[in-house]
């Protein structure tokens, strides 16, 4: 093993030599005058001040406050730089504004210095503006949301016989699913080939959209009257099944398998949802955030944010602008609930008179908006960077609830 340089034997010579020189130089050190330069950043953490002292040779960065100890006749270089989302508005030297002394890089060299000074650098929070949009992308770290509304058909084996199935599904804003379908040889108790009913819901379990399905059936299979029920769960899948007592085992992914026991014959079967059916799941959704600076008649300027959520159904939830709260520690936080419903053409939906199709009016003669009570979006710890006049999201978290499901993800990734 090679011995590290740091502990090689020649080191003591250098150490001793340094000590010797330091000791010899001591009288000169003792006779020099040390000055105190107090430097503070306000508000703390809003900017950095890089300092370089010529004597004693030293440098560093201040983000809150520090007492520097330069020698008399030394030079002190100070460079002021605002952190992301802030700008430098003032540099006070002993209470006197000196910001105009700084060059375009926020730098000034003081010295040769002869007296102690106090500096305060003031930074001001900038109000970000702009519109930021993001769309769900599979595999980008966001929890998926799934809408199963659509048509599903194919062939599956039920009760030992290959049967064609054809099911139309409607999933509402709470994730509840109603199905209407047919399967060869299966009829309801009235003899109709159409089997219908509530079949379950989609919920988020362990960060995945998961179908919890349950079906009851009273009717006939191949002409034999039967009553059956079954349940299953899996990663966003569905099935039209006639089952009894227990449906065991479900696997997710591109296909779903569920085996079941049939009352009369007790034979194990499995139903596979073809990958092409799973591909019909609608997962696309998007969000647009718009930041605006508001200048009130009295008081400080602040930031308002509005949001528009584009749901998998094609409709929108429009959240009017509201004040975003900011903290130096956590950045911007804002939550949106009870949005106005917009149709697929982004037109606001109002309560209609079902007979006339015209918008209903309230007592004051105003149209009555329809609200989306089931969707929420929450933005936390959002920070933005400014480059020129343009802002870009730098970090943050997005949490969302709609379609009876919930998810979260990295806001920067989502909005990129």
Partner 1 sequence: MRARLGWWMVFTAAFLFLALGALTLQRDWQMKVPTQNGFKSSSPVDRLLSENEIDPMSGQVLLFSTLVMDEKGLTVALADRRRPFSERAQYAGQLALIGTPSAWRALMNLFLSESPTNQRTLALLLKKVSKKEFGKSLIKIVETANDWDVASAIRALGLLGGENNLMLLSSIVNDRGWPNHLRGEAARALLENGSEDQKRLSIRSMGAIGTEAETATLAKLLHDESQQQSLRIESAIFLGKIASEKAGDELVAAFKEFADEEAQTVLLDSLGHFPFNQIGDTWQTFLDDPSTPLNLRTAAVEALSNSSPDAVPYLMTLAAEDREPDVREMAAWALSMQESSEDLGGKIAAMIPRENEPDVRRRLYEGLLSQKTNPAASLLPTIDAEDDPASRIAGLNVIGDVIGRRASTPEVDQTFKAELVPELRAFALGDSSLNLRMRAVFALRRAGTPEAIEALRIISQSPTKEIATAANNGLNNQPRK
- Binders in 81-110 for partner 1, by CB under 8 A: none
Output the smallest distance, CB 69 to partner 1, in A. Answer: 26
Total chain residues near partner 1 (CB under 8 A):
73
Binding residues for partner 1 restricted to 130-149, rule: CB under 8 A? 147, 149
Q: Does 352 bind partner 1 (CB under 8 A)?
A: yes
- Contact between 274 and partner 1 by CB under 8 A: the answer reads no
Shortest spacing between CB 205 and partner 1, in angstroms: 6
Q: Which helix (H) or strand (E) holds 29?
A: helix 11-31
Calpha distance 290→306 (Å, rounded): 5
Residue 295 token pair: 């200048």
Backbone angles phi, psi at 22, to 5 degrees: -60, -40
Range in contact with partner 1 (rule: CB under 8 A) among 107-115, 244-252, 283-291, 300-308: 244-252
Query: Is there binding between residue 358 and partner 1 (CB under 8 A)?
Result: no
Residue in 96, 162, 206, 279 binding partner 1, rule: CB under 8 A: 206
Task: With CA atoms as reference, report the closest residue to 249 among 276, 264, 270, 278.
Answer: 270
Give the DSSP letter string of 298-321. SS--EEEEEEEEE-TTS-EEEEEE
Any contact of residue 24 with partner 1 (CB under 8 A)?
Answer: yes
- Which is closer to partner 1, CB of 166 or CB of 337? 166
**Contact of 406 with 399, CB cutoff 8 Å:** yes
Task: Decide if residue 151 touches partner 1 (CB under 8 A).
Answer: yes
* Residue 340 near residue 317, CB atoms below 8 Å: yes
- Rounded CA separation 14/289 (Å): 62
Q: Is 9 in the site for partner 1 (CB under 8 A)?
A: yes
Q: Is 198 in the site for partner 1 (CB under 8 A)?
A: yes
- How far is the C-alpha of 50 from the C-alpha of 21, rounded, in Å? 30
Q: Does 35 bind partner 1 (CB under 8 A)?
A: no
Work out whether 301 is an interface residue with partner 1 (CB under 8 A): no
CB of 55 to partner 1, least distance (A): 24
Binding partner 1 (rule: CB under 8 A), the pick from 180, 255, 272, 340 is 180
Pick 41 or 195: Cβ nearer partner 1: 195
Show the tokens assigned to 364: 């004051």
The window from 122-130, 132-140, 205-213, 323-331 that contacts partner 1 (CB under 8 A) reads: 205-213
Q: Which is nearer to partner 1, 131 or 198 (CB)?
A: 198
Q: Does 351 bind partner 1 (CB under 8 A)?
A: yes
Give the HSE-up count for residue 15: Cα atoms under 13 Å, Cβ half-sphere.
Answer: 7
User: Quick one: 29 exposed, middle or buried, by C-beta within 10 A (0-12, 13-18, 19+)?
Assistant: exposed
The residue (of 135 and 194) whose beta carbon lies closer to partner 1 is: 194
8 interacts with partner 1 by CB under 8 A: yes
What is the smallest separation between the CB atom of 208 and partner 1, expressed in angstroms? 10
- Rounded Cα–Cα distance for residues 326 and 201 (Å): 38
CA distance 104 to 217: 78
Binder among 164, 207, 276, 416 for partner 1 (CB under 8 A):
207
Distance, in Å, from the CA atom of 379 to the CA atom of 393, rounded to the nearest integer, reads 12
> Is there a contact between 87 and 46 (Cβ–Cβ < 8 Å)?
no
Q: Is position 266 an interface residue for partner 1 (rule: CB under 8 A)?
A: no
**Is position 344 an interface residue for partner 1 (rule: CB under 8 A)?**
yes
Q: Is 360 in the site for partner 1 (CB under 8 A)?
A: yes
């Amino acid at each position: 093993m090679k011995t590290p340089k740091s502990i090689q034997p020649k080191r003591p010579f250098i150490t001793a030599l340094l000590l010797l020189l330091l000791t010899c130089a001591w009288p000169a050190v003792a006779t020099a005058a040390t000055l105190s330069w107090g430097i503070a950043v306000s508000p703390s953490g809003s900017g950095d001040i890089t300092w370089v002292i010529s004597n004693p040779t030293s440098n560093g960065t201040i983000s809150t406050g520090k007492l520097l100890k330069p020698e008399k006749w030394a030079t002190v270089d100070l460079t002021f730089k605002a952190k992301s989302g802030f700008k430098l508005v003032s540099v006070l030297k002993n209470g006197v504004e000196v910001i105009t002394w700084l060059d375009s890089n926020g730098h000034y060299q003081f010295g040769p210095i002869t007296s102690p000074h106090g500096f305060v650098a003031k930074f001001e929070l900038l109000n970000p503006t702009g519109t930021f949009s993001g769309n769900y992308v599979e595999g980008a770290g966001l929890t998926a949301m799934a809408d199963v509304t659509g048509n599903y058909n194919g062939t599956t084996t039920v009760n030992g016989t290959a049967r064609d199935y054809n099911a139309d599904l409607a999933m509402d804003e709470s994730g509840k699913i109603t199905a209407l379908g047919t399967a060869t040889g299966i009829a309801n108790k009235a003899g109709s080939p159409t089997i219908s009913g509530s079949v379950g819901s989609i919920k988020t379990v362990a960060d995945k959209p998961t179908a919890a399905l349950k079906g009851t059936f009273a009717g006939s299979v191949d002409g034999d009257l039967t009553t059956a029920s079954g349940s299953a769960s899996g990663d966003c899948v569905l099935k039209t099944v006639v089952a009894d007592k227990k449906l065991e085992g479900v696997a997710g992914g591109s296909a779903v398998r569920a085996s079941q026991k049939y009352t009369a014959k007790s034979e194990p079967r499995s139903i596979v949802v073809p990958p092409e059916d799973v591909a019909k799941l609608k997962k696309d959704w998007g969000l647009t955030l718009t930041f605006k600076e508001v200048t009130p008649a009295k008081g400080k300027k602040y930031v308002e944010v509005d949001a528009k959520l584009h749901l998998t159904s094609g409709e929108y939830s429009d959240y009017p602008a509201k004040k975003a709260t900011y903290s130096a520690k956590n950045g911007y936080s804002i939550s949106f609930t009870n949005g106005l419903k917009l149709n697929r053409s982004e037109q606001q939906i109002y309560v209609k008179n079902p007979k006339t199709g015209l918008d209903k009016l309230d007592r004051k003669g105003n149209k009555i908006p329809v609200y989306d009570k089931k969707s929420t979006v929450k933005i936390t710890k959002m920070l933005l960077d400014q480059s020129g006049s343009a802002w870009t999201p730098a970090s943050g978290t997005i949490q969302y609830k709609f379609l009876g499901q919930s998810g979260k993800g990295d806001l920067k990734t989502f909005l990129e």
